[in-house]
Every structure is written in C-alpha cells, then in structure tokens.
C-alpha cells in the first residue's frame, strides 16, 4: 500500500501551479468547442478522412501558437480535435459535439497540473467528455 501511495503522489504531483484567469478559461473552452465542431463538421459534411482533418486543424493550431499570447492553444485545441473525431453513431447532432467540446474544455482547465508531462492526458479528457455526453444521450432518450 505504501508503494501505491508513493506512486500516486509522483503521478499527481502538482508540477505547474498555474491557475487560469476567467478570460483564459473562456478562451480555452471556446477553442476546444470550435475545434471539436470544426473537426466533426468537416468530416461528416464534406466526407473527408478524419485523420487528414485532424492534421489540418493541428497545423493551423501550430501556426497560431507561435505567438506568445497563444502559446498553449495547440494543446486545448487538439483536445477538441480528439472530441470531434467521434463517430456520428455517438454524436447524432452538432449539439452533442458542442456539449462534449465544452465539457472537454472545462476538464482541461481543471486538470492543468494533473498528470502533467504524461502521455495520453488530452485523449483521456476527450474520452471522458464524449463518454459523458453519450451516457447523457442514452439516459435522456
């Protein structure tokens, strides 16, 4: 038990004590929602390969993030791209994608220092938000 506690303390150690301002929260949530909607919309309406759409949006995010003001935009944006890569069987409407993008943006803001530096954080956030909206859709039907 002692080894497990030590391991969890290393994983969940707060390496970045940065907390976002209200403006940064709104920007992060908006970027996550916009990229999720963009990825899903381009893929479903124009029948483009989802990996190519995600790559295209990632390139745009990379070009925007060269400015100092937008240095973290590629991370939250790519989290939204992961949300938008979901199937139309999971998200029948754009409203579902919008809700999942907002939830992913909120989770991203809350988990800034959680699992920092470990792989898979953005995918995990996207999975949790997509799964939450999917379960909510099942319950509300």
Output the CA torsion 32→33→37→38 (10° steps).
-50
CA distances from 2 to 8, 10, 17, 125, 133 (A): 10, 13, 26, 28, 37
Say what the pTM is: 0.84
Q: Are 5 and 107 in contact (CB under 8 A)?
A: no
pLDDT in 10s for each residue of the chain, 141 residues: 565 555 555 555 545 456 778 898 999 999 999 999 999 999 999 999 999 999 999 999 999 888 777 778 999 999 999 999 999 999 989 999 999 999 999 999 988 877 667 788 999 999 999 999 999 999 998
Radius of gyration of the chain (CA): 16
């Amino acid at each position: 038990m002692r080894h497990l506690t030590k391991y969890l303390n290393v994983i969940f150690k707060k390496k970045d004590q940065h907390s976002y301002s209200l403006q940064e929260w709104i920007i992060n949530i908006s970027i996550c929602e916009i990229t999720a909607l963009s990825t899903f919309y381009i893929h479903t309406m124009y029948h483009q390969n989802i990996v190519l759409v995600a790559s295209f949006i990632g390139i745009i995010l990379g070009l925007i993030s060269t400015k100092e003001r937008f240095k973290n935009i590629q991370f939250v944006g790519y989290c939204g791209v992961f949300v938008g890569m979901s199937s139309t069987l999971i998200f029948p409407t754009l409203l579902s994608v919008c809700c999942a993008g907002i939830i992913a943006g909120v989770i991203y803001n809350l988990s800034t220092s959680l699992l920092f530096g470990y792989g898979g954080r953005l995918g995990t956030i996207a999975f949790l938000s997509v799964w939450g909206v999917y379960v909510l859709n099942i319950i509300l039907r």
